[in-house]
Structure 1
Amino acid sequence: MGDGNPGTDPGAAVRLLWEPQPQPARGPKRALSLERIAQAGIEIAEAEGLAALSMQRVAGLVGVTKMALYRYVPGKAELVALMVEAALGEGPPPQDVHTGWRDRLGDWARAMGGVFGRHPWLLDATVGPRVLGPHELAWMEQALTALDGTGLTGAERMDAVVLLAGHVRGIVQQERATGGTAGPEAQFDEQLGLVMRAHGERYPALCAALASVAAEGGQDQALEFGLARILDGLGLLVAERSAPGARTG
């Protein structure tokens, strides 16, 4: 039996993520918990990346055979789903409901960035069609709830959440590519500076920008800069929806 193909049995992932796990009617009782199995998978992904994950390696960590592991988790896709839920914890940190939508979405995006920063393999695990678990949906629910009363339509709220999540993911992806040393912008500026010293006369605007960065600082603020600009744009749309005669959803 292989490690399983993503999407081959969505029902299996639904049962693992959303339903209580009964003891088998026959045979020995389960000696492992799904939480322990998920943590074993996370240990591998944290150390070596999601590509290194396999049912065989997880089975070895929890002290069972690969075939025995299939009694708990039917395949690798379901294993990854359990790992995502475990890494996301109980959902996003609670928010003050009396805080404005802008601050709430900003806090939400920063919290998401923290989770992805601690578990970079989540970038690979949370793409493509798949079954979402309770914790992941709790994150989406909180962001959508923050937009209550803004006048945005349901589609606009969903697009806003996707836009924010995409921004966070992009920044964390850059940070992962740098190996967690100097910030991605600082590394880029340093490498670009080598080229500009030899060919800078061809790119005067770029040289001026780099000189400004060197003089005034400001590297590695892309997360906050982009977040502020996204929220600024949403603010304009919210104001438009709040104008007399505007349509609401």
Structure 2
Amino acid sequence: MTSSVHDDEAESLVGLGDETSEFLWAQPAQGRRGPKPKFSLDAIAEVAITIADDERLDAVTMQHVADRLGTTKMALYRYVPGRAELDAVILDRVLGEPEEPRGEDWRAVLTAWTHGMHSRVLSHPWSVELAQRPHTPGPRELAWFEAGLGAMSPLKLRGSEKLDLLALLVGHVMSLVRQLAATAAPEEALAAGLAPILAARAQDYPHTAAAFAEAAQEGAQDDALSFGIERILAGISALVAAR
């Protein structure tokens, strides 16, 4: 991470280092003297998130955020050291706190956990880029870890296996959100694009042609999220049963 607060665009490409993690986890000073700050970190984050939603993640610069707030870029640095720290804050705000788990069925809890993650990220597809950069999780993101791992507490899995399971579920979510950000119905779009090709060359790709034809008849396209969750958890269930 660059030491200059003016290089905020370069900072954002590096990922989150120790200084960024410290900023994200810092608690507000208690009994702080002096005038009340003009802006709050939540207000700054809300503006940055709105810019990313309305335009794109690349449009979230310190200057742009400052302009929206009606202040100067230098004044904004009093609240946020740079773009990397701002990225960390908005990712944590977008993820939010996970919902309280319901029931004791670990598969049902993890299914709801994954759907919840998907819903949060899909609301702000640009957050996938931030989530997949190397970084130290913030308080809200770590709450997702805690909730997911808590659902696995009765399972005979090693700690590394539990973390790998979360990585599989989150990776599944992120991959699908990336696809949905490009097109609302990726499987339908793929099928439409391949239709004339498979019609002309079905004999060269018989298994592909048959699979797409059957999927169209079943009307079961674009259900990759639930299918993936079910298969991942079924595999873990088999592993636990074998032990």
Quote the Cα distance in structure 1 between the aligned partners of 2:153 and 2:206. Answer: 46
| Counterpart contact for 1:37–1:58, Cα < 8 Å | yes
Structure 2 residue 17 is the aligned partner of structure 1 residue 15: no
TM-score, normalising length: structure 1? 0.88
Quote the Cα distance in structure 1 between the aligned partners of 2:143 and 2:134. Answer: 18
Supply the AA of the counterpart residue of 1:38: A
User: What is aligned with 1:247?
Assistant: none
Deviation string 1:33-82 (CA, Å, 9 cap, x unpaired) is: 00000011101111122122100000011111000000100000100111
Extract unaligned runs of 5+ from structure 1: 242-249
User: What is aligned with 2:98?
Assistant: 92
Match of 1:107 among 91, 94, 112: 112
User: What is aligned with 1:35?
Assistant: 42
Quote the Cα distance in structure 2 between the aligned partners of 1:142 and 1:18. Answer: 22
Deviation string 1:188-240 (CA, Å, 9 cap, x unpaired) is: 11111121122222111111112212222110011111111101100011112
Q: What is the percent sequence identity of the aligned residues? A: 41
Quote the Cα distance in structure 2 between the aligned partners of 1:215 and 1:134. Answer: 46
Quote the Cα distance in structure 2 between the aligned partners of 1:212 and 1:8. Answer: 46
User: What is aligned with 2:203?
Assistant: 201
Aligned length: 235
Supply the AA of the counterpart residue of 2:131: T
- How many angstroms does 1:133 deviate by? 1.1
Supply the AA of the counterpart residue of 1:95: P
Query: What value does the CA root-mean-square deviation take over the aligned residues?
Result: 1.8
Structure 2 residue 75 is the aligned partner of structure 1 residue 73: no
Deviation string 1:10-30 (CA, Å, 9 cap, x unpaired) is: 23442343311568767x542
Extract unaligned runs of 5+ from structure 2: 1-5
Structure 2 residue 154 is the aligned partner of structure 1 residue 149: yes
| Structure 1 residues 95 and 170, CA gap change in structure 2 (3 angstroms) | same
Matches within 5 A, 1:1-249: 1-3=6-8, 5=11, 6-7=14-15, 10-21=18-29, 29-89=36-96, 91-96=97-102, 98-178=103-183, 180=184, 183-241=185-243
Quote the Cα distance in structure 1 between the aligned partners of 2:209 and 2:231. Answer: 24
| Counterpart contact for 1:23–1:29, Cα < 8 Å | no
Supply the AA of the counterpart residue of 2:139: P
